[in-house]
Structure 1
């Protein structure tokens, strides 16, 4: 994930670094050894508690996208860059982010098998049906019919981007991997509260 710009101002970045440090410190004290970044479990706990994400497979994929160095640990830079898109990304950035989350094997396409795997994973929480796989295959067919513009049986980035631009609701078609507006706002309010209090006092 290449990011040209931070979408946070300097004070907000400082607040995010402070939050990162406190999460790492918490992780260090529970592990009884120094921790340099957020490991997989700590990051998932944060996604769950701060943003209400519950889908294990999606949280795992979000971790992989944040972890640009692929060292199984989120550094402070990866944390701020990742949250920049996660919380305030433009539509372009969020399309790229979701596509990378859904492209499970990183080959530049979302294949029929990958769609099946993700939809099965997010829908199996429903009551058991006789043939749940059949219903999921139907959903995959519907998704391809709607999104596969060059009709090659898989979604390229261009297919996905066009489909989402035509219909924004398709952004998270294969599983929730971004926070909803309510949890984003709650997270920002809580994390940036000190800044807002300061600017309030300056203005008054």
Structure 2
């Protein structure tokens, strides 16, 4: 028999559905930081991200019996839970623009590189903030989180063609808004 550390996330979810706190703790240990980082990148606020991820983990505990490993892997299912919570939080804070400290990537550049990227990041941040919510989430998931179009569509509860349409419209808006500053921003043609 496999130990808890060797079991798949899906088998751990079965155990969580039966009330196994150790299995739950192992899932949090395996995935907690990754999903917290996702929430921070989208929300731009560590405290809000902590609230969102804590709420998402509470959902795992209370709704583990609704997880169906035949339909999705745990990470895909949980990604959707986190994205839904992030969208809920963004709706609550709809009037708030993306925060000033919003980082476009996981690895933060050094001070010199950060200064060089500052102007570009400000412009991209401002343009991203003007996108409709679904376009912004599609861009975030596909381009900043590195998900495939199919995975992002699943996360957002969309058909693949609908997601691709969102991305086309978002890229067009980004291109149009950033076109005048292309040389200054060192952006490749979109």
TM-score when scaled to structure 2?
A: 0.40
Q: TM-score, normalised by structure 1?
A: 0.38
Higher helix proportion, which one?
2
